[in-house]
Structure 1
Amino acid sequence: MNIKPRVYSLAMCFALAAPVTLAENTPLQEIQAKWAECQYQTPDGDEKEYCFHRAIAKTNIYLDRTPENPELTVWLAINKASLAGAQGGLGALSLAEEAKDLLEKVIASAPQTLDGSAYTSLGSLYYKVPGWPIGFGDDEKAEDMLKKALEINPEGIDPNYFYGDFLAEEGRDKEAKLYLTRAMHASPRPDRPLADQGRKLEIEQTLGRLK
């Protein structure tokens, strides 16, 4: 069974982190830039999977230096979710479960991290992963997580995009357009131009599918 249609955008999971105001070339910014390269500039298939494997390995190296770092933990989850989307199939579910566990850990200890990005990413997982008996997907939990993300970061491109995309999948087109339009007009993230460019293309594609 191929579950790729339900997990392909998990990292779009996600990109999920909000803009940061850190010095240039910090570990976090390096990981964010690597994710964008893998997600938006690497061809689908083995090359994309390998790119995400390298991103995960690099994130783990940084986490070994600063254990329990919530920002890097969120990004480890994002990279695992993105690899799940690139791989597809039942094997992706274990990666999605690992990402879920990491995000729940951050929510329990530091929910404001990266403007609530753990909520955005976990909400995305809940609506992209298949539901019982195959996976843990749950649309009610997805909406709850995504709304919490918007409470923390109401103007952010990612929380608005993912909630809009969720609403689109639910057939709630009028609501979806509202949040997707907000995402399209979100303030740019100067330190993440590639992520913004890729996300806006995804927003345009989702808007194009709406009635």
Structure 2
Amino acid sequence: MCEQENGPDPRSGDAVAERKRDLRERLLTARRHTPQEVLDARAASLGAHVLAIPEVAFAGTVAAYVSMGTEPPTDAVLAALHARGAHVLLPVLLGDNDLDWAPYEGPDSLRDAGRGLREPATTPLGVDAVASADVVLVPGLAVSADGVRMGRGGGSYDRALARVGENALRVLLLHPDEIDQDVPAAPHDQRVDVVVSAEGVVRFTA
């Protein structure tokens, strides 16, 4: 029997990239149209859920990030981790979109890095510093039912997560309606262990 040709193979690299672009556009549009009061109301619940995860509560080193714009907020989480004595690492974006890592020493240790980014002003420790983390908190735009994360397309966190130790917990922070999406997966895409939103915590099984 001859195969009928109905366009590009949906598993091909070009088709996956196109589907990701469409999904990113839809989710970013939804974020832009979410009222600020809704985002503010979600902040406290999100932070409480993150800090209640046992692996986070007892982690010695946490790699995290400084949220920007309409991303789920991380400022309170960073402050709480720092206050309890955790060693917190934050990313420094390099010219090739890879991530260096530097210590977080409180809100006053952050500087404006342009394009809405805030980065630590402390001395960077190298791209492999993330491998020392017990927990890694990462941003994204969506996650599938089996833990495939979709970011903004730069590949920064896929590279960083590939360096993370096999026993580290990978935690993605999202808005509730970004969970359980039909995320097209490419070979380089990294999975996460947990997703947290203002509505709670979801763990993915291997």
Does the alignment reach a TM-score above 0.5? Answer: no
With structure 2 as the length reference, what TM-score do the two structures score? 0.30
Q: Which has the higher contact order (CA 8 A, sep 6+)?
A: 1
The answer to which structure has the higher strand fraction is 2
Q: Which has the larger radius of gyration?
A: 2
